[in-house]
Chains A and B, each alone.
Chain A
């Protein structure tokens, strides 16, 4: 049994499909993971097991890759759905924001 995916992540994925103008369906499987079907592609999304240095596992076909957080999750999903999507070439580092 995998960890359940929070509702706000499911809402975010649904809204993301709408924002990218990609019609699709997201369904929750009995083990708690998600299956996203859109643009002729089937994507498996699951919480990573505890103790690993990432939070999500994204599977497309036979390929399964770990991602560290929601920005990476959205990047992976969109890249799988849209061959023209180009990820941002730099990351915004999570540094302290002290005035």
Chain B
């Protein structure tokens, strides 16, 4: 599987400067970069030079709008040309979005294309935030907040210009997305593997687990930033697999458009020795990834949600009620002691375990 990273960040936040530096570094070898620019004539690709084994493909238009299909086509073409030896055998793909892009539809495209399932895997989202103008962008442009909210790693840029402002901005970014790793770069200087290294994924998981526990321990377990909410839910009892699918279905149906990011480490009752990692963006969920073992002695299920106008008490009540109902069905009991009906999918035929809309 070839890891695909999405590099996003608001206009002028330093994405292209960063790529320009990274593409010349040995640690960034064998990387295919897709640069997306908003406008009919692209310039950014002229500003970056590549090493021998890396290369850049260009798209114009906003990736999250009309050219989403083009992105799929570009990736398919790259994979085909890689197979025939027409391009270097890249081992990593970076998609740089335009500064105005909403990254969620791009992630949807990557997560739901059947053609990519066995060949590409979304490794994560890196979002650049400008230390000078970042706060203003967050105030004025919802796209900037969303870019921060979906990030796995946040990179503060231009800190050489305004280090003092960056400290206040850091707190704001942490409030928006407490689970994201916050890194700093001056003049685009940062090691490639620090940003796009796949070996860092277990560390990412451990970090957001720590954050989820800390958030849960705080009163209400909830952060607020602008109209975004972030909170963690923790449950001691293992969860039945059916309850998990129903929980995700209800979340997708009722708050899908407001659910910016969901991550979870779930103790599945049918497989308690191997935790399931779930990951979703709006109404699209990755199939669960199964860890070989629990990362610590803590085997509680933990769910972190980031979104707009989400209500933790509702999600908690939903989780509890679904567990009760599925438990009744599994045990063959009804509240009155009668035998209950089997839980079935809705009136339309089921299509997939974690389908796209």
Contacts and interface: CB of A to CB of B under 8 A. Distances in A.
Interface in B16-72: none
A94 B245 contact: yes
Contact of A68 (B244, B341, B355): B341
10 contacts: A9-B324, A53-B341, A68-B346, A69-B246, A88-B256, A90-B351, A93-B345, A94-B242, A94-B344, A96-B270
Nearest to B287: A97
Interface of B: 241-242, 244-246, 248-250, 252-256, 268, 270-271, 274, 276, 283, 288, 290, 311, 313-314, 317-318, 320-322, 324-325, 329, 334-336, 338-346, 348-355, 357
Interface in A78-99: 78, 87-99
B348 to A, nearest CB: 6
Given A5-B335, A70-B250, A18 B311 contact: yes
A87 B253 contact: yes
Contacts of B250: 70-71, 74
Contact of A88 (B245, B283, B318): B283
A48 interface: yes
B270 A55 contact: no
Interface residues of A, number: 43
A92 B256 CA distance: 14
A16 to B, nearest CB: 6
Contact of A18 (B314, B318, B336, B343): B314
Given A90-B357, A91-B348, A93-B352, A48 B341 contact: yes
Contacts of B290: 99
Contacts of B314: 12, 15-16, 18-19
Given A8-B321, A92-B354, A98 B271 contact: yes
Contacts of A69: 246, 325, 343-344
Contacts of A74: 250, 253-254
Given A16-B314, A98-B271, A75 B341 contact: no
Given A15-B318, A50-B339, A88-B249, 5 more contacts: A14-B317, A50-B334, A74-B250, A90-B351, A98-B271
Contacts of A14: 317
Contacts of A94: 241-242, 245-246, 343-345
B268 to A, nearest CB: 6
Nearest to B349: A91
Contacts of A15: 311, 313-314, 317-318
A11 interface: yes
Contacts of B271: 97-99
Contacts of B274: 99
B338 A50 contact: yes
A6 interface: yes
